[in-house]
Amino acid sequence: MKYIDEFRKANLIHRAAAAIREMTPGYGINIMEVCGTHTQNFFRFGLDKLLPGNLNFIAGPGCPVCVSSQEYIDKAIAYARQGNTIVVTFGDMLRVPGTTSTLEKERAGKGNVLVAYSALDALALARKKPEHKIVFLAVGFETTASTIALSIMEAKKEKLRNLLFFPSLKTIPSAMSYLLRDKRLNLSGFLCPGHVSAIIGTKPYEFAPEKYGVGCCVAGFEPLDILEGIYFLVRQIVNKKALVENQYSRVVTRTGNFKAQRVISAVFRESDDVWRGLGRIPGSGLKLKNDFLEFDAEKVMPLKIKHVGLSQKQKLCRCGQVIKGLITPDECPLFRKICSPENPYGPCMVSIEGTCNAYYKYH
């Protein structure tokens, strides 16, 4: 733990925060992070209390569970209701409210929803239960896309006909580009995610300074990582020189992980996709290529779901606006009143990477 402790030393944290306060100009600065772990740790370690009030740290769409569309959640629940089918999912998806149910409730009723740590668990289950259809909820960003792609390639190699994937894979740079076009946000810089950047590198963010004049900094997840990343961004703003900087150089390179990129591009193609709170973003999703459509759940087991209107309380949930950075969680009429981690009304409160969850626990 000594290596981690070096990034949590109180005296160094206070020195870094003081340097940021001293350099920050008097006008408002909006820095958005697009990583749920940054959101959690920013509030968990009380970094918001160390920085000047005019330096606004906005939590963007950095939680893959949170940005999965309502239709996707409803279809996942519908798969769980199919006979002879087992749905395999990451744990954060269990309690995300669909229109009428949750995967957790379906599991309690039929026991055919299982939690996995990776797509490889679904692969192992498909081998073990050849008489069942195994549907893996492939939710995530570029970070998980590579392991999911490997699992699909292995399933094809083994000719597993009972393993299917229901993708909701999204790409971060596409969302960033979309957000930069929204003038309401008035973004001054992006704190970019370390996990995603370890796969894609820093190069995909270069459009932000080149096209929009907005700087980026890839940062790690410890308090000193986050503060140093913010320092780099504030320095860019003060010097009026937008760049892509890499605070997390101990893990991230400009070109990223070539092997992971090749696996992803072998299995997936770019597609338009719907992000909760943002809508349909061109080229922001990853769908299976034609050579792998035999593993596409929607192709093999197409669903017709009945659209049911949201309840009045569900309509009051403003999770979509929180994800986009238009409001903070405490501006939602449900926050802390009836919406809590024990009784969530939206995915931002369910997921441990969700903004509402972080605000509730730490802010």
What is the rounded average pLDDT of the residues 268-296? Answer: 95
Domain encompassing residue 266: 65-171+256-300
pLDDT tops 60 at residue 336: yes
Mean pLDDT, all residues of the chain: 93
Query: Which run of H or of E encompasses 319?
Result: helix 319-324
123 and 148 Cβ atoms separated by less than 8 Å: no
**For residue 311, what is the DSSP state?**
P
Domains of the chain: total: 1
Q: What digits encode the pLDDT tens for the residues 48-64?
A: 999 999 999 999 999 99
Would you place residue 2 in the very low, low, confident or very high pLDDT band (cuts 50, 70, 90)?
low
Backbone torsion region of residue 89, taken as left when φ is above 0, otherwise alpha when ψ lies between -120 and 50, otherwise beta? beta
**Out of 27-41, 101-115, 296-310, 313-327, least confident range:** 296-310
Q: Is residue 17 part of a domain?
A: no
| pTM (two decimals) | 0.92
pLDDT score of 1: 43
Instruction: Give me the CATH number covering residue 121.
Output: 3.40.50.11740
Q: Is residue 111 part of a domain?
A: yes
Q: Is residue 98 part of a domain?
A: yes
Residue 71 burial by Cβ neighbours in a 10 Å radius (0-12, 13-18, 19+): middle
β-partners of residue 339 are 335
Query: Which run of H or of E encompasses 259?
Result: helix 258-267
Q: Is residue 267 part of a domain?
A: yes
What is the rounded average pLDDT of the residues 128-149? Answer: 96
Backbone angles phi, psi at 282, to 5 degrees: -60, 135
pLDDT tops 90 at residue 339: yes
pLDDT tops 90 at residue 235: yes
What is the rounded average pLDDT of the residues 306-330? Answer: 84
Distance CA 285, CA 231 (A): 32
Distance CA 111, CA 100 (A): 18
Q: Is residue 5 part of a domain?
A: no
